[in-house]
Chain A
Amino acid sequence: DAGITQSPRHKVTETGTPVTLRCHQTENHRYMYWYRQDPGHGLRLIHYSYGVKDTDKGEVSDGYSVSRSKTEDFLLTLESATSSQTSVYFCAISEPGAAAAPSSGANVLTFGAGSRLTVL
């Protein structure tokens, strides 16, 4: 988990309230991701970023927004939290590179420790 800090690590909130999760990296990696982990579903991609101010949707983006104003920070916002958003959220980072080279670090994601969110 070195080089990636997620905050808060635990949060309990009520339905309808806004929530922001923060991911901070010190690796200067270009790509950043937000995944959620749920039993029976594994990890599913919410949003990702390929540079400052460059973001795009993943497979489960409804109800979430993101922002990346600096290389090191990637914020995930739930505008109005719902119980279905109770989950463990993971931030990840990676670097572009020669993806077809076996020794390349491309495609290798480094994950943060996770943020456990409970929406009551």
Chain B
Amino acid sequence: AQSVAQPEDQVNVAEGNPLTVKCTYSVSGNPYLFWYVQYPNRGLQFLLKYITGDNLVKGSYGFEAEFNKSQTSFHLKKPSALVSDSALYFCAVRDFNTGFQKLVFGTGTRLLVSP
């Protein structure tokens, strides 16, 4: 079965410092990987995706993610964190088992950016 793991429940970083939110995946075949963000009392918002091509994917709000096939990872990064980046971040992978475009989500990582 397709799955993703987010090993950190919470990541703390100071404003202006680089941030990394980790995600590893387990799939059969080529992975389709996604990052979503959830702000308080809101639904999830799409940040970026990796389907194929360049291993460095750029997304919304200055975020980027690096696909690493040998390490089966898809870590989310940003060069300089903002307090407003504080939110819950979810990694997801497409489940191809049924032939339908379903996503399987990780358990989420809370990012706290301190001033």
Contacts and interface: CB of A to CB of B under 8 A. Distances in A.
Interface of A: 1, 4, 31, 33, 35, 40-45, 48, 50, 56, 58, 90, 92, 94, 96, 99-102, 104, 106-114
Contacts of B98: 56
A43 B100 contact: no
Contacts of B84: none
Interface in B35-75: 36, 41-46, 49, 51-53
Contacts of A108: 34, 46, 49
B100 A112 contact: no
B43 A112 contact: yes
A38 to B, nearest CB: 10
A42 to B, nearest CB: 4
Given A45-B102, A99-B51, A113-B42, 18 more contacts: A1-B42, A1-B43, A42-B90, A42-B105, A43-B90, A56-B98, A94-B101, A99-B101, A100-B51, A107-B32, A107-B51, A107-B94, A108-B34, A109-B36, A109-B46, A111-B44, A112-B43, A113-B41
